[in-house]
Amino acid sequence: MQESALALLMASSRRSFRFNMSRWAPGIPFLLRYTVPLVAYAVIIAQVSRLLSTAWEIQISSLFMWCIIVLSAPSFVAARIIFRYWWVARSARHAGAILPPRWIGKSFGHLDVLGEMMHSLDHGYPGDFAWPTFAEHGPIAQTDILWDRMYITCDPQVIKTILATDFDNFIKGEIFSGFMSPVLGTGVFNSDGEMWKWHRSMTRPFFSKDRISHFELFDKHSNEALRKMAERLSEGHAVDFQDLVSRFTLDCSSEFLFGSCVDFLRSPLPFSHDATGFLSSSSLSPDTTSSAIAFAKAFQSAQHVCAQRSWRGWVWPLYEMFEDKTSRHMCRVDQFLDPIIREALTRHNEQGSGTINYEDADSEEDTFLDNLVRYTSDPVVLHDEVLNILLAGRDTIASSLTFAVYLLCMYPAVLSRLRKEIHDVVGLSRRPTYEDIREMRYLRAVINETLRLYPPVPFNIRYSVKDCVIPNPDPKGPPIFVPANTPVSYYPFVMHRSTAYWGPDAMEFDPDRFLDDRLQKYLVPNPFIFLPFNAGPRICLGQQFAYNEISFFLIKLLQRFDTMELDLEAQPSASRPPAEWTGAWGRKNVEKIWPKVHLTMYANGGLWVRMTASGKEDA
């Protein structure tokens, strides 16, 4: 109880500090942090020269003094950098370890490496910069952007160490929480230590086995989603499937979390850019969109800002000198979310707070938010935690459904086989049950293969707390040394597609790899090669909920529609794969859409599809 109270106090104080600092653009405090010491240093030099002149009558010209000031500051910084490099090399030798190969840039401070990362995020294919790096240096490498060391890896044993075996020594860290704080606050995805444990303890009971089905919820909202989809298709128009499932998952998540649906699906579906006489998704004005649409767009935009910050590293505030680029988006998010939280607090106060039993506080009728208000009445803490879980419940599931249908459109044989399994187990009209889903092995294989090729969170990061060693991908080599406070970025997107871990056909979409002898050959002996839901103590609590929701929607979709295909003409021209991808290596060569990443993976410009309705005849 004392730890919980301490965690709550920490959350409130940190968020209060964040709100106060939000009046400033992030770049201002950042510059003050680094310029104030330099100004102080100049003042000290000036005072020393004045004392020398007074005490010993040593005359120092102003020009000479300013030369000392100007030259000594960068010299001091350079000396610190050289000492730090020497100290790290010395510490590695004393630990009997080595440093990973260096990815060396060509420009001052290796800023070209940063530019390459940013170009990949905004204009390239996910992992564009990582593939050649791993090909040249192996599955772990280091780079130095502005002389700040960073490790990147796609090795499963290294990732296992970071996420599981040395979990306490690899945290989200202050830099990560700093650029994510305006969006996720101190929620479970953006906290460490006691704060993380407290949030996790609040959240875990609500994802128990008794709660994760909620098939009535899935059924109600999937029926509405598919009805709107069928209606639009019958009019002869393509449907943005990504938009549709984003609405479906937000409605499901909001009812699951809050007990009331935001009714995102009630808003009109967008038309494609080539649908004459109709509003396209890009031309919807604020006056024609619901609060749910405004929330969804704002939340996605805020995530994109955070993704840009993550690539820029510790210097990200320099790119936001005059405004916090998340603030306008988060104002819209707060306008949507805060009334829901106030309503839950009012309901709780009217019922009486009572005494918390941390083992049995929640009942089957409680919503997630009802459960949280038993732990705290702080609206800021509630806001943070709800938004964290909403991110997981909406964006990751919508991403998985989007790319599952994308792949089914590209591989009609897989679609036909999956629909046959659905027909054999459930039929074309009955609502699926939890037992049905457990029986459908090919359905799970299709989902897993989608998650392998297009993991919802393709990249992630941890920071080392203290000096340590991690396994060398080369079993014959010495361990790898990791200095304290080093960011280690790991890449499930690259690892999931690596022929070293998945075999020569790793780039191919083949659900049978989760059913045939390849399962025993690759995944069973090395389970950390497949991380769609993270791993270790921070593994996704809603993993089974996600599998159930994805499975349920795909079953209902294929009960209703026989065939599906991509409508590439409906895809906005700016969101289509660039011409230079033709003939490129790997899956980049076969992509029909442009996969991109903010915090989660999504289809740039949407996923525009056409489908034909089923005859609804059970065998």
Residue with the larger pLDDT of the pair 207 and 354: 207
- Distance (Å, rounded) from C-alpha 549 to C-alpha 265? 16
What was the pLDDT predicted at 3? 45
Are 88 and 203 found together in one domain?
Answer: no
Are 83 and 216 found together in one domain?
Answer: no
What was the pLDDT predicted at 358? 43
- Distance (Å, rounded) from C-alpha 474 to C-alpha 146? 29
Q: Is 141 helix (H, G, I), strand (E, B) or coil?
A: strand
Average pLDDT over residues 109-132: 82
**Residue among 594, 590, 452, 579 at smallest CA distance from 511:** 452
pLDDT tens track for 156-168 = 999 999 999 999 9
What was the pLDDT predicted at 114? 78
Are β-strands 608-613 and 561-566 bridged in parallel, bridged antiparallel, or unpaired? Answer: antiparallel
Count H helices and E strands in the chain, helices first. Answer: 22, 13
Are 289 and 422 found together in one domain?
Answer: yes
Average pLDDT over residues 362-387: 80
Which domain covers residue 1, as residue numbers? 1-94
Q: Which range, of 7-11, 299-303, 467-471, averages the lowest pLDDT?
A: 7-11
Sorting pLDDT into bands at 50, 70 and 90, what band is 365?
low
Residue 92 has pLDDT above 90, yes or no: yes
CATH number at residue 454: 1.10.630.10
Average pLDDT over residues 202-220: 77
Average pLDDT over residues 444-459: 97
3-state helix, strand, coil in the chain (%, to 5): 60, 10, 30
Are 344 and 483 found together in one domain?
Answer: yes
Q: Which range, of 20-24, 135-139, 202-206, 547-551, averages the lowest pLDDT?
A: 20-24
What was the pLDDT predicted at 411? 98
What was the pLDDT predicted at 106? 80
Query: Which segment, 57-71, 99-113, 499-513, is predicted with the most confidence on average?
Result: 499-513
What was the pLDDT predicted at 392? 81
Residue 122 lies in a domain: no
Q: Report CA dihedral (518, 522, 525, 529) to the nearest 10 degrees.
A: -140
Residue 262 lies in a domain: yes
Q: What residues contact 262, with CB distance under 8 A and at least 6 apart?
A: 250, 251, 254, 291, 292, 295, 336
Residue 156 lies in a domain: no
348 contacts 373 by C-beta, under 8 angstroms: yes
Residue 51 has pLDDT above 80, yes or no: no
Residue 361 lies in a domain: no
Question: Residue 471 — φ and ψ, nearest 5°?
Answer: -60, 145
Sorting pLDDT into bands at 50, 70 and 90, what band is 598?
confident
Residue with the larger pLDDT of the pair 245 and 276: 245
- Left if phi > 0, otherwise alpha if psi is -120 to 50, otherwise beta: which for 312? alpha
| Triad 455, 461, 466: Cα angle to 5° | 150
Residue with the larger pLDDT of the pair 223 and 380: 223
Q: What would the DSSP string read from start to end of 539-596?
A: --TTHHHHHHHHHHHHHHHHHHEEEEEE-TTTS-GGGSPPGGGTT-SGGGGT-SS-EE
Residue 530 lies in a domain: yes
Average pLDDT over residues 93-107: 90
Q: Which range, of 98-112, 197-211, 231-245, 464-478, averages the lowest pLDDT?
A: 197-211
Boundary-marking domain end, from 46, 68, 94? 94
Average pLDDT over residues 134-142: 94
Q: Which range, of 62-66, 315-319, 596-600, averages the lowest pLDDT?
A: 62-66
Are 89 and 209 found together in one domain?
Answer: no
Boundary-marking domain end, from 94, 124, 144? 94
What was the pLDDT predicted at 17? 41
Boundary-marking domain end, from 62, 94, 126? 94
Structurally, how many domains does the chain consist of? 2
Sorting pLDDT into bands at 50, 70 and 90, what band is 283?
very low
What was the pLDDT predicted at 5? 46
Residue 579 lies in a domain: yes
Residue 179 has pLDDT above 90, yes or no: no
Sorting pLDDT into bands at 50, 70 and 90, what band is 21?
very low
Q: Which range, of 283-287, 301-305, 363-367, 508-512, averages the lowest pLDDT?
A: 283-287
Are 569 and 456 found together in one domain?
Answer: yes
What was the pLDDT predicted at 101? 95
- For residue 608, which amino acid is it? W
Are 87 and 225 found together in one domain?
Answer: no
pLDDT tens track for 287-309 = 334 677 788 888 888 888 888 88
What was the pLDDT predicted at 313? 74
Helices within 391-532 (DSSP H only): 397-410, 412-425, 434-439, 441-453, 492-496, 499-502, 517-518
Residue 136 lies in a domain: no
Average pLDDT over residues 580-595: 91
What was the pLDDT predicted at 13? 45
Q: Which range, of 79-93, 99-113, 434-448, 526-540, averages the lowest pLDDT?
A: 99-113
Question: Residue 593 — φ and ψ, nearest 5°?
Answer: -125, 180
Q: Extract the runs of DSSP E, i.e. beta strands, from 189-344.
A: 239-240
Paired tokens of 556: 């209902």
Q: Is 195 helix (H, G, I), strand (E, B) or coil?
A: helix
Are 89 and 202 found together in one domain?
Answer: no
Q: What is the pTM of this model?
A: 0.87
Residue 374 lies in a domain: no
Tell me what the pLDDT averaged over the chain comes to. 85
What was the pLDDT predicted at 16? 45
Q: Is 612 helix (H, G, I), strand (E, B) or coil?
A: strand
